[in-house]
Amino acid sequence: MAPKACFGILDRVFPFAAGGLRAVPPGCFECSEKVLCLKNALATPEGLDLRTGLIDRTPSNGFFGRVKRWSQKKYLHHLKEPTKDKR
pLDDT in tens, 31-51: 989 999 999 999 999 999 999
22 Cα distance to chain centroid: 11
Q: What is the rounded distance in angstroms from the CA atom of residue 87 to the CA atom of residue 68?
A: 31
Q: What is the rounded distance in angstroms from the CA atom of residue 24 to the CA atom of residue 20?
A: 13
Amino acid at 32: S
pTM: 0.77
Asked if residue 83 has pLDDT above 70, the reply is no
